[in-house]
Chains A and B, each alone.
Chain A
Amino acid sequence: MPELSVIGASHRTAPVEVRERLALAPGQVSALLAAMHAEKVFDEALVLSTCNRTELYVVPRAQADPLACFLDHVGRIRGAPPETPPGTFYRHDDTEAVRHVLRVAASLDSQIVGEHEILGQVKEAYRLAVEARTAGFLLNRLLHRAFRAGKRVRTETDLGRGSASVASAAVELATHVFSDLAGKTVLVVGAGRTAETAARALLGCGATNLIVANRTLDRARQLADAIARGPAEPVCGEDVSCPGADDDQPATCPALVAEAADEMRAEGGLPADAPQAAVHEVTAEAVGLDDLPAAVARADLVITSTSAAEPVLTHAALAPTLRRRRGALLLIDIAVPRDVDQRLGKLDNVYLYNIDDLDRLVARNLQRRRQEIPKAEAIVEDEVEEFARWLASRGVTPTIRLLQKRLEGIQQAQIARYGRRFAEADREQLEVFTRALCSQILHKPLALLKGLSADGSTSERLATADLIRRLFDLDSLDEEAGRDGHTPRQP
């Protein structure tokens, strides 16, 4: 029986219509974990459910079928068992399972390799498992190892560097013009989905003022309110994060904003049912297209995505205003046909980008990310090896061997110290006596370990072995053995 298994379906094995049947909201994950826990299907379990994957990490019990149980509970939550074609689910055991979770946390298994959200999602899954009391000794260690691997990949490689979507490319461009988006005004012209996402990302990264311009003022008002209310549900494949967060600089990414809001909720600073909102104040305003020149004059960043056949921002209307402005203006035109007169991009202090420029930036970043994959894989392998060594060291046999060695060492040291006080004839008796004493001391721990090895749960066995190793400082003995030429075992 494996010590650890992962069973799941992801974008690699299941199309979206299957994944959506398996996807679970946080509340459903908690309910599912509690129900499965009650049925004693596993020692430990964690469910990771994102738009691209639903996975169950378990420390299984003998004769249990975690997948059948999982599907049964998902069926109860959904009202009907989910139909899953053959080949939907994959299963990895032991070291392969460890490798899988580390690759997931390092964003190597993501649809957009290097995207930043997955590590937060793994942390959220872990939090739910801890709350449901289904994360025990092994999953605790494993998940912390996964967080470590994810962080290392992010800081030691360029896997997550640069924007990977049009919306985040807008944010990346903004950070090359403005050192700080605080106090900056974002003008959204039109009501395109990508422009909306980009505006949300810019506000999430610190911009504080929003103007929405639309042909109909009512629609502009609706959109302004919706954007200013805070981040919407994450859009699958939209990796919007603030560049600079991976440069060891503080950044207010949507994910971090959400994390901060969670912390505030936990501390009682925000009501539990408060809507998700940006931590900083955002002022929102709606204008009609007639007021566009005045709005552009006040804006620092303009994102246009109307369906107009002719440019909405014309040279004749805007050039006189833009020539007078001192600060830089970033114009991002993601509409086709284009909304911005190309001559505006030639004005001093005006930086104009169209959808092709953004696509080119994204393509370049994705290419760079692909080049970083081998480095990231090496980090994951390094962490997998360390975890495997640690797991092996918590086995019953090595623990018993080290425990006997520890007691034998104590016995020999004490005989060496006090043996001279005894007569030559008594020394043999002393040796017999101390050996018997040590055997008596060892008897219960060894019986416990052997018992757990025969019929105990994996989690209990590992936790007990770990406790004994710490009580008797067996890891130092292991390290000594490593220095003497044996394989070192690191905690």
Chain B
Amino acid sequence: MAEFLALGNWLLPLLYLALLVDYGATFFLRTRAHGREPWLLLVVAAHAALLAGRGWHEGRPPLTDTREILSVLALATAAVYAWIEFASGDRRTGVFVLLLAFLFQYTSSILLAGREMEVPAVSAGAAGVWYRLHVVPALVAYVAVAFAGVYGMLYLAASRSLRRHRFGVLFDRLPPLDRLGPMAWHALLTAFVSMTLAIAVAPLLFGGGGNEMTAKVVGKIVTGSAAWLVCAAAVLGRWVGKWGPSRISAIAVAGFVAVMALLVVSGLLS
């Protein structure tokens, strides 16, 4: 089983890379721009099976550290994108989202390599309901922040190309502005709701005393708070300040970059 998990750990980035090439061809060569194909679902299923296998093998949910969380983020990103693609039938933005999934999984695989045989001790907290109520919304929030960042960036790129009257690749290939803008906004809204829930549950999980303020915990608190602040600023700006999609997209991109940087730093420090 351990050998199988190690093999899967190396295969997953390759599968995402293959998807990336395929979706890159769709974007740059305009091949199969509108279609629902099974390959993405197969990769998502394989990834989910691998994570489930690791959880079963190690007797705990694979969510204990940044390395594992990155892999779950990759899976969630690909799965949410697969749903979007299935709903819209439009695979033109896939290359950007799957680039993210690939980077998450590649980083995770690199970090996970060499620790396959080490099974960390399962804390009582990691098995509890509160833990899941904290971790799952937090993961959803991070995935949503990633989506907001990607679609915000695409909105800004499309808007810039239209504003400057550049009839090039971006003009030809990107979906219309009124599809990209709402994607970024809805992703930020989802992130805000999920992160609020995760933060609300956190004191119940960690407030019982006995938890040391390690660099890992501090990193999580800082990253989560930063993500929540970004989302809250966007929600407030949209509802109170009547911000348009350009400003919301700019916030989404800035927030995504900041949150990812904090995630990486906190991962390195822990």
Residue count of chain A within 8 Å CB distance of chain B: 23
Give B158's nearest chain A residue, CB to CB: A176
Partner of B245, one of A175, A349, A351, A353: A349
CB-based contact B167/A348 at 8 Å: no
Partner of B176, one of A178, A248, A327, A364: A178
Residues of B within 8 A of A470 (CB): none
Give A176 to B167 CA distance when docked, in angstroms.
11
Chain A interface residues toward B at CB < 8 A: 173, 175-179, 247-249, 324-328, 345, 348-349, 351, 353, 357, 360-361, 364
Give A174's nearest chain B residue, CB to CB: B176
Give A175 to B175 CA distance when docked, in angstroms.
9
Nearest CB of chain B from residue A359's CB, rounded to whole Å: 11
CB-based contact B163/A249 at 8 Å: no
| Interface check B246, CB cutoff 8 A | yes
Q: If the complex has contacts A175-B176, A249-B34, are A326 and B167 also in contact, measured as CB distance less than 8 A?
A: no
CB-based contact A349/B244 at 8 Å: yes
CB-based contact B175/A351 at 8 Å: no
Give B170's nearest chain A residue, CB to CB: A176
0/1 interface trace, chain B 175-209, chain A, CB 8 Å (1 if under): 11111000000000000000000000000000000
Residues of A within 8 A of B158 (CB): 176
Partner of B242, one of A249, A324, A345: A324
| Interface check B115, CB cutoff 8 A | no
Q: If the complex has contacts A176-B162, A348-B244, A348-B247, are A328 and B167 also in contact, measured as CB distance less than 8 A?
A: no
Give A175 to B171 CA distance when docked, in angstroms.
11
4 shortest A-B CB distances, which residue pairs? Answer: A179-B176, A179-B179, A357-B165, A349-B244
Q: If the complex has contacts A176-B171, A351-B163, are A326 and B178 also in contact, measured as CB distance less than 8 A?
A: no
Give A193 to B162 CA distance when docked, in angstroms.
25
| Interface check B48, CB cutoff 8 A | no
Residues of A within 8 A of B163 (CB): 345, 351
Partner of B175, one of A179, A325, A327, A357: A179
Q: If the complex has contacts A248-B34, A249-B34, A349-B245, are A328 and B178 also in contact, measured as CB distance less than 8 A?
A: yes
Nearest CB of chain A from residue B157's CB, rounded to whole Å: 12
0/1 interface trace, chain B 70-83, chain A, CB 8 Å (1 if under): 00000000000000
Chain B interface residues toward A at CB < 8 A: 33-34, 158, 162-163, 165, 167, 171, 174-179, 242, 244-247
Residues of A within 8 A of B245 (CB): 326, 328, 349
Partner of A353, one of B165, B171, B175, B246: B165
Residues of B within 8 A of A326 (CB): 242, 244-245
Give A175 to B165 CA distance when docked, in angstroms.
15
Nearest CB of chain A from residue B264's CB, rounded to whole Å: 32
Partner of B178, one of A173, A247, A324, A327: A327
Nearest CB of chain A from residue B53's CB, rounded to whole Å: 38
Nearest CB of chain A from residue B213's CB, rounded to whole Å: 43
Give A328 to B175 CA distance when docked, in angstroms.
15
Give A247 to B176 CA distance when docked, in angstroms.
14
CB-based contact B162/A349 at 8 Å: no
Residues of A within 8 A of B162 (CB): 173, 176-177, 351
Give A415 to B41 CA distance when docked, in angstroms.
59
Nearest CB of chain A from residue B130's CB, rounded to whole Å: 40
Looking at B34, B179, B244, which has the most chain A CB atoms within 10 Å of its CB? Answer: B244
CB-based contact B244/A177 at 8 Å: no
Partner of A178, one of B174, B178, B242: B178
Give A249 to B175 CA distance when docked, in angstroms.
13
Q: List 30 A-B contacts (CB under 8 A).
A: A173-B162, A175-B176, A176-B158, A176-B162, A176-B174, A176-B176, A176-B177, A177-B162, A177-B177, A177-B178, A178-B176, A178-B177, A179-B175, A179-B178, A247-B34, A248-B34, A325-B244, A326-B245, A328-B177, A345-B163, A348-B244, A348-B247, A349-B244, A349-B245, A351-B162, A353-B165, A357-B165, A360-B165, A361-B167, A364-B167
Residues of A within 8 A of B247 (CB): 348
Looking at A176, A179, A326, A351, which has the most chain B CB atoms within 10 Å of its CB? Answer: A176
Residues of A within 8 A of B242 (CB): 324, 326
Nearest CB of chain A from residue B89's CB, rounded to whole Å: 8
Give A353 to B167 CA distance when docked, in angstroms.
12
Residues of B within 8 A of A324 (CB): 242
Residues of B within 8 A of A173 (CB): 162
Give A247 to B33 CA distance when docked, in angstroms.
8
Give A351 to B247 CA distance when docked, in angstroms.
16
Beyond A177-B178, A179-B178, A361-B167, list 16 extra A-B contacts (CB 8 Å): A175-B176, A176-B158, A177-B162, A178-B177, A178-B178, A248-B34, A249-B34, A326-B242, A327-B178, A345-B163, A348-B246, A348-B247, A349-B246, A351-B163, A360-B165, A360-B167
Give A279 to B247 CA distance when docked, in angstroms.
38
Give A456 to B184 CA distance when docked, in angstroms.
71
Give A357 to B162 CA distance when docked, in angstroms.
11
Residues of B within 8 A of A364 (CB): 167
Nearest CB of chain B from residue A397's CB, rounded to whole Å: 45
Give A237 to B177 CA distance when docked, in angstroms.
30
Nearest CB of chain A from residue B219's CB, rounded to whole Å: 36
Give A483 to B31 CA distance when docked, in angstroms.
34
Residues of A within 8 A of B175 (CB): 179
Residues of A within 8 A of B244 (CB): 325-326, 348-349
Give A349 to B250 CA distance when docked, in angstroms.
13
Residues of B within 8 A of A249 (CB): 34
Nearest CB of chain A from residue B97's CB, rounded to whole Å: 18
Nearest CB of chain A from residue B269's CB, rounded to whole Å: 39
Give A39 to B158 CA distance when docked, in angstroms.
62
Residues of A within 8 A of B167 (CB): 360-361, 364
Give A361's nearest chain B residue, CB to CB: B167
Give B243's nearest chain A residue, CB to CB: A326
Give B34's nearest chain A residue, CB to CB: A248
Give A364's nearest chain B residue, CB to CB: B167
Nearest CB of chain A from residue B244's CB, rounded to whole Å: 5
Give A324 to B244 CA distance when docked, in angstroms.
9
Residues of B within 8 A of A360 (CB): 165, 167
